[in-house]
Amino acid sequence: MGMVQAGKMGRIRASGFTGVYFISPRDDILIDNGRVPGELVMVRRECREFQETGMISPARMRVVDENARALGVSSLQLMEAAGKALADLVRSLDTDRILILCGKGNNGGDGMVAARYLQDLRVSLVYLDEAGRSPDCSHQLKVLSSCPVELIPVRCRDDILPLKPHFSNAGCIVDALLGTGSTGTPREPVRTLVEAAQKAPAIRVSADVPTPGLVPDQILAFHRPKAENSIVADIGIPLEAEITVGPGDLTILRPKDPGAHKGAGGEVLVVGGGPYQGAPYLAGIGALRAGADIVRIASPVFEPVPDLIYERLDGERIGARHLETLRSLAERADVVVMGNGLGDRSHEVMVDLAACCEKAVIDADALRKPLPRAHDTVYTPHAGEFQRMTGKKPPEDPVSRARAVKKAARKGAILLKGRVDIISDGERVRFNRTGSPLMTVGGTGDVLAGVAAALFCHMPAFEAACLAAYVNGKAGMAVEKALGGGMLPSDLADRIPFEIFRRGDET
């Protein structure tokens, strides 16, 4: 296998993979591959422009890994590709005495796969013989026991001291001790293994990321680099795992602290109503169902929903006379949602109010020029609203459509709703293909705005918009499966907690 290092980062291909995607053979129709039985569709090459490059954080890498598994690429397949790439790099160093240091996680499993591919050489493998080994790592260790590789278990520092000749005689030492999920200073016996490897005269190669304390001569990163000066191995992760929102994106959610106080889940203010009374309340219920602790509805219209706090605005419509009250309410809110059921005669108030907000979700009737803008903003238009807020109709072609959303997302993140949602913050683009035809019923977009607001309390705008689109669509799919038809927007809202907090468990 040839390897290339370009500047600080190179790229090599360990294995190929062609993933299914949501572009049909007609090349211009978006479909949901999960809802078109038996139809195999292929990714368009143009979609590569939406793949992020450069350094990737451990959290984002976990998202991509999980999305790849959801698309049918097992963790063992990814481990096999990573280990093979690691073995190819080690073999290129032209040494026949190799020492591989393996932890008990999947990084250690990568090292064990490499040892199997290098079994024709003189390979010794030191592994942590303690509880907590990952299932995939255990699987690789079992397979490796059938290979002519010296296996050396260690449990403590004293087990390592007799291994001094292994370190001093090795031509290459492979560091597969700790992966991207590890933080802090290594504990024993890893600490002593790192110290011994650092003192050895061998070439040191780290798998994916260096173990803290070890300075490698080469780093082989899998999929994308996590450290500077890495060579990158392509391990066959489908493009869709990166550019489409999937179940892996839910891993960025953190469980609520058992000691949390009231309000820790976030406080949302919904401003709307007047001409259309139900919309702001649906947004409020969506926010509560997505985890917000306190939701206030500032509206001229009262609806008897005891879960929500009603902040009365006099008259039939929201006007300039309400601005001081709205600003006061916005100051205490983590996120403000505006536009739901508002009508077209209160827009100047929304523009002035948004300028006072730290975070805002702009939806429905507030999506018009001049565009309201908070310090940090999520816009949630459908195609008609996108045209109203930008002056341009979004293209039908999905790639061109995504480019248009990306270009328009200069004042905040945009979630363009459709059969396939497109989300962008002006730099990144994601597609979301969850959803149901039943969601054409009025009010589902209001629920989505509330869900986005609740998530926005705890994460950046782009991530909140991506997750909101995904869980809202998953909820719609679940309601369709349960009812078959006749969805109410309240049905959608009631399903949201299962998709966020129960990860889609059956009810």
Q: Which of 491, 445, 439, 502 is nearest to 35 (CA)?
A: 439
> 5 forms bridges with which residues in the sheet?
10
Mean predicted confidence (pLDDT) in 343-358: 97
Q: Are 353 and 330 in contact (CB under 8 A)?
A: yes
Dist. CA 416–CA 382, nearest whole Å: 6
Is 5-243 CATH 3.50.50.60?
Answer: no
Fill in the amino acid letter for 254: R
- 35-49, 86-100, 282-296, 492-506, range with the lowest pLDDT: 35-49
Mean predicted confidence (pLDDT) in 4-15: 38
3-state secondary structure of 106: helix
pLDDT (tens digit per residue) in 398-418 = 999 999 999 999 999 999 999
- 2-11, 236-245, 374-383, range with the lowest pLDDT: 2-11
Mean predicted confidence (pLDDT) in 110-119: 98
Dist. CA 218–CA 130, nearest whole Å: 28
Mean predicted confidence (pLDDT) in 283-308: 97
pLDDT at 37: 40
pLDDT (tens digit per residue) in 22-66 = 433 333 333 333 434 444 555 688 999 999 999 999 999 999 999
Cite the DSSP H helix spans in 151-189. Answer: 157-160, 164-169
Residue 55 vs residues 204, 231, 233, 441: alpha-carbon distances, Å: 22, 12, 13, 42
> Which two structure tokens, joined as six digits, stand for 499?
């998709």
In CATH, the architecture of 262-501 is: 3-Layer(aba) Sandwich (3.40)
pLDDT at 256: 87
> Given strand 309-312, what is the order of strands in its sheet?
309-312, 294-299, 267-271, 335-338, 359-362, 376-379, 413-416, 421-424, 429-432
Dist. CA 25–CA 455, nearest whole Å: 36
Reply yes or no on whether the pLDDT at 389 is more than 80.
Answer: yes
- Kindly report the pTM of this predicted structure: 0.89
Neighbour-count burial for 50-67, b at 16+ CB within 10 Å, e otherwise: beeeeebeeebbbbbbbb
Q: Rg of the chain over CA atoms, in angstroms?
A: 27
- Where do the domains of the chain lie? 5-243, 262-501
Q: Which of 86, 88, 85, 64 is nearest to 75 (CA)?
A: 64
Q: What is the mean pLDDT of the chain?
A: 91
- Whether 262-501 and 5-243 are alike in CATH topology: the answer is no
**279 Cβ contact partners less than 8 Å away, ≥ 6 residues apart:** 272, 273, 340, 341, 364, 443, 446
Dist. CA 323–CA 341, nearest whole Å: 17
3-state secondary structure of 298: strand
pLDDT (tens digit per residue) in 424-442 = 999 999 999 999 999 999 9
pLDDT (tens digit per residue) in 167-195 = 999 999 999 999 887 777 899 999 999 99
10 Å CB burial of residue 163 (0-12, 13-18, 19+) is: middle
Q: Are strands 230-234 and 12-13 parallel, antiparallel or unpaired?
A: parallel
Q: Which helix (H) or strand (E) holds 286?
A: helix 279-289
Mean predicted confidence (pLDDT) in 307-330: 97
Q: Which of 378, 387, 383 is nearest to 415 (CA)?
A: 378
Fill in the amino acid letter for 341: G
pLDDT at 96: 85
> Which two structure tokens, joined as six digits, stand for 222?
């899998």
The residue to which tokens 């990166």 are assigned: 242
3-state secondary structure of 417: coil
pLDDT at 123: 98
